[in-house]
Amino acid sequence: MIMLFVSAIPINHTSSYSSSMSSKRSISEFTPVSDEPQLLTKRPRNERGEEEEEEGEELLLVDADSIGLRLLGLLLQCAEFVAMENLDEAADLLPEIAELSSPFGSSAERVAAYFAESLSARIISSHLRFYSPLNLKSLTLTHSQKLFTALQSYNTISPLIKFSHYTANQAIYQALEGEDHVHVIDLDIMQGLQWPGLFQILSSRSRKLRSIRITGVGSSMELLESTGRRLTEFANSFGLPFEFQPFEGKIGHITDLNQLGVKIGETTVVNWMHHCLYNITGSDLGTFRLLTLLRPKLITLVEQDLSHGGNFLSRFVEALHYYSALFDALGDGLSEESAERHRVEQQLFGSEIRNIVAVGGPKRTGEVPVERWGDELKRIGFLPVSLSGTPAAQASLLLGMFPRGYTLVEENGCLKLGWKDLSLLTASAWQPCD
């Protein structure tokens, strides 16, 4: 991941932010960024330079690319003020950002709307000295359902979730060849959307499984039980001897393997799909301790190519670059009025941006987060398993179903899914070295 700094921003780092800007927008006052001719319609001024009143307001039309660049400059300037704790100066910029941005506009206008909202929340929380990340256990059932509905929409209109599931499932399937008793531990199971696909390919094996058990980790027993019922129905439809075990809590807080119901004779696999919606592990260090004790046959990991450490300004700039690419990707092929896209951006991306900008950072969370989990897995005795071959071929076929801007790169056995010039997700698999 390339780190950007506000003092010197190369042009190529604004490309994701200002792309897909074919529409026009009207505002009352604006200074064009480019030297290209603009359509200007202003009120006539009298000798003192004051605008004369005129019936009806005539607006200045500005090319959306210029608006995108203006918004980028305002967001970075606001973030600089926040970083220096000049909160009043930062707040003074928010009205103009709000005027130019919209959750239903171009990709630049949409991403700016959510970053402005998060900056506003950061300014307020800085005054109050109170930081509150999203916690699934504190959500109402209605809010949880909205979140999960957004995940289903995301799975439909974007390849990112499917890429994560297909790649991990294929790696798991290959690792389980010849195994009879399987225990999958999903560190953040949510709705369990990944597992029906695994059930399907496992049911096609000539050597049938004698048992398959999934331990789903989550923050709400009610939601876990609902997920378990759905997965049991799916498993039964494929004729698999299935058992679901819910675990309410954080994986990093587990100190005894018995809490996960680990049994002798079972082949254990750990699965983890990263996101920024809420804190999954509770403790990164505690999670590493548990993985060291557990020594599963395989760990499948999907990480966002996004930094969660460092100072506020560098974290903000990298997040702005990252989510600009995501918003641009979702905007390709969908109308600005798309309800599905708006649901995903509001419920998922907006929440992630808020946690990164308004809440995130070691200074506020109290723990320095792990930047690259793959590097840490090497340190505690795991080796990478190559995802070339069938996983890579399946991922390539998947991307053929979506807009052409998505890219797939194989790097050191990992698969990287990107949008144009920016990597968004890295999928990897790991096995113990002994």
Name residue 8's beta-bridge partners.
5
pLDDT of res. 374: 82
- What's the confidence (pLDDT) of residue 235? 97
Integer Rg of the chain from CA: 24
110-153 per-position pLDDT tens digit:
999 999 999 999 998 887 766 555 555 555 566 777 888 999 99
What pairs with residue 270 in β-bridges?
Answer: 185, 299
Question: What's the rounded Cα separation, in Å, for the pair 144 and 422?
Answer: 30
Query: Quick one: pLDDT at residue 11?
Result: 31
Q: What is the mean pLDDT of the chain?
A: 82
CA 124 – CA 420 distance, rounded (Å): 35
**What is the structure's pLDDT at 360?**
64
Where residue 246 falls among pLDDT bands split at 50, 70, 90?
Answer: very high
Residue 231: pLDDT band with limits 50, 70, 90: very high
Return the closest-CA partner of residue 420 out of 401, 399, 434.
399
**Structure tokens, 430:** 């790991």
Q: How confident is the model at residue 12 (pLDDT cuts 50, 70, 90)?
A: very low
The C-alpha atoms of residue 108 and residue 97 are separated, in whole angstroms, by 11
139 closest CA partner among 53, 57, 222, 256: 222
- 3-state SS string over the chain? CCCCECCECCHHHHHHHHCCCCCEEEECCCCCCCCCCCCCCCCCECCCCCECCCCCCCCEEEEHHHHHHHHHHHHHHHHHHHHCCCHHHHHHHHHHHHHHCCCCCCHHHHHHHHHHHHHHHHHHHHHHCCCCCCCHHHCCHHHHHHHHHHHHHHHHHCCHHHHHHHHHHHHHHHHCCCCCEEEEEECCCCCCCCHHHHHHHHHCCCCCCCEEEEEEEECCHHHHHHHHHHHHHHHHHCCCCEEEEEEECCHHHCCCHHHHCCCCCCEEEEEEECCCCCCCCCCHHHHHHHHHHHCCCEEEEEEECCCCCCCHHHHHHHHHHHHHHHHHHHHCCCCCCCHHHHHHHHHHHHHHHHHHHHHCCHHHHCCCCCCCHHHHHHHCCEEEECCCCHHHHHHHHHHCCCCCCEEEEEECCEEEEEECCEEEEEEEEEEECC
> Rounded to an integer, what distance in angstroms lies between the CA atom of residue 18 and that of residue 39?
20
The answer to whether the beta carbons of residues 158 and 403 sit under 8 Å apart is no
CB atoms within 10 A of CB 416: 18
**CB 159 within 8 Å of CB 202:** no
- pLDDT given for residue 208 in this prediction: 92
Position 305 confidence tier, pLDDT thresholds 50, 70, 90:
very high
> What is the Cα 228 distance to its own chain's centre?
24
Residue 17: closest CA among 341, 323, 385: 323
Residue 44 has pLDDT above 50, yes or no: no
Residue given tokens 């999960």 in the structure block = 148
Give the mean pLDDT of 329-343.
Answer: 87
The pLDDT > 90 percentage for the chain reads: 56
pLDDT, residue 383, reads 94
Backbone angles phi, psi at 272, to 5 degrees: -150, 120
Structure tokens at 132: 């509150």
d(CA 84, CA 223): 41
Q: What's the gap between Cα 166 and its chain centre? A: 17
Length of the chain: 434
Tell me the pTM. 0.82
For 23, 132, 247, 272, 416, the CA distances from 184, given in Å and listed in that order, are 48, 32, 13, 11, 24
Residue given tokens 């109050």 in the structure block: 128
Confidence of residue 222 (pLDDT cuts 50, 70, 90): confident
Contacts of 215 (CB under 8 A, 6+ apart): 183, 184, 185, 186, 245, 246, 247, 260, 261
Residue type at position 393: A
